[in-house]
Structure 1
Amino acid sequence: MSLRSTLAVLTAALSFALPVAASAQSVKFGYVDYQQVLLAVEDGKAAKTRLQKWLEDRQKEIDREQEALRKEKETLDKQASAMSDDTRMQKGAELQRKVMELAQKWDRYRSEAAGRERQEMEPIVDKIDGVIAKIAERDGFSFIFEKRDSGLVYAQTQYDLSNEVIRAYNALPKTAAPKAPAAPKDAPVAKDAPKK
């Protein structure tokens, strides 16, 4: 059973159990949109900017190499009639190999980007979790759900704590900005970073 399905089942079970529990104790709910918070807090913006710069640099490198390969193919096409069959086939195979290597390089960059994003965002998410816990304790929340992954289909905006979390996070004492992580070249990295 997937995490999303498990959370949906737990949410449904809670909705049936809560009327009984609510009679014994006041239950207070809230929810947070993690994506919104990650993109709005100062650390998240800085991390996103660093990641974007890294990606743009890699994209420029790929674009340069792609342009060089396109020119090489044009030259090969122009000179093909003057070449022997063996030479033409050899040059064509070499060009194909370079195209494949470039595609593999792009795939490595995408995997590395996912790993970098995870490394950049993990400490921020941990701080966000701490802020949410403090808000929950301070304001007496029994449950705070993540908007997207909790199975929450609808909730009134008055229960949305995202802006409060952003304000509280940005009010925390500033620590030294984390350096961009250096991911090892041969480290296996999942294609999609998990979202909180």
Structure 2
Amino acid sequence: MNSRKWKPAVVAVALALLGGLAQAQELKIGYVDLQRVLRDAQPAKAAQAKLESEFGKREKELADLAARLKAASERLDRDAPTLAESERSRRQRELVEQDREFQRKRREFQEDLTQRKNEELAQVLDRANRAVKQIFDQEKYDLILQEVVFASPRVDITKRVIDALNNGK
């Protein structure tokens, strides 16, 4: 192949690559640490406090029930050598039944708590995404990422998102 024929093609490709690099340098990129938003933003803290107040009483009741079960089990272990076989069997059955009831209540508590956490989290995430979108539009970003391996503090807009959420914007 004649060098006169391919030299213009190589020059054109090189110019296109250089033009692409120059254009890439003009990209405005931002990064949001979503875990930090969910930990530090006031709406997230309010949601956590709401959940604690909503589920605190049930959690305490479960802890009390667990303590009573443990005490009854220890009492049975301590008294077992002096109990009649029928009394020991009756108390063991009662403990098994009480433990089954405790496990059921604990499972229901966990399911209810998980469902409510997901509902509250969805609301906070929705607000956070709207704040990110607003920053994206107002400051004319080309790309905003939420999950990255490494990000420079120069592109981290997490604080602005938290501030926007805290200010109710």
Q: Identity across aligned pairs (percent)?
A: 26
The change in CA–CA distance for 1:59 and 1:22 in structure 2 (over 3 A counts) is farther
Structure 2 matches for 1:37-186, cutoff 5 A? 37-146=37-146, 150=147, 152-172=148-168
Between 19-28 and 51-60, report the one with greater CA deviation: 19-28
Distance, in Å, in 2 between the alignment partners of 1:125 and 1:162 is 13
In the alignment, residue 64 of structure 1 is paired with which amino acid?
D
Structure with the higher helix share, 1 or 2? 2
Distance, in Å, in 2 between the alignment partners of 1:23 and 1:111 is 51
In the alignment, residue 107 of structure 1 is paired with which amino acid?
R
1:100 Cα deviation after fit: 2.7
CA deviations 1:71-120 (Å, max 9, x no partner) are 32344345434543233223202202211321232222122211111111
Structure of higher CA gyration radius: 2
The change in CA–CA distance for 1:171 and 1:20 in structure 2 (over 3 A counts) is same
Q: Which residue of 1 aligns with 2:15?
A: none
1:53 Cα deviation after fit: 3.1
Q: Helix, strand or coil for the counterpart of 1:135?
A: helix
TM-score, normalised via structure 2 length: 0.76
In the alignment, residue 158 of structure 2 is paired with which amino acid?
S
Between 34-43 and 158-167, report the one with greater CA deviation: 34-43
1:26 Cα deviation after fit: 3.4
TM-score, normalised via structure 1 length: 0.66
Distance, in Å, in 1 between the alignment partners of 2:21 and 2:97 is 66
Coordinate RMSD, CA, aligned: 2.5
1:33 Cα deviation after fit: 1.1
User: Is the 8 Å Cα contact of residues 41 and 166 (structure 2) preserved in structure 1?
Assistant: yes
CA deviations 1:101-150 (Å, max 9, x no partner) are 2123222212221111111121221111111111011111111111xxx3
In the alignment, residue 90 of structure 2 is paired with which amino acid?
Q
Distance, in Å, in 1 between the alignment partners of 2:55 and 2:84 is 42
User: Is the 8 Å Cα contact of residues 43 and 165 (structure 2) preserved in structure 1?
Assistant: no
1:46 Cα deviation after fit: 0.9
Listed as ranges, the gaps of 5+ residues in structure 1 are 1-18, 174-196
Listed as ranges, the gaps of 5+ residues in structure 2 are 1-18
Distance, in Å, in 1 between the alignment partners of 2:71 and 2:25 is 73
Number of corresponding residues: 151
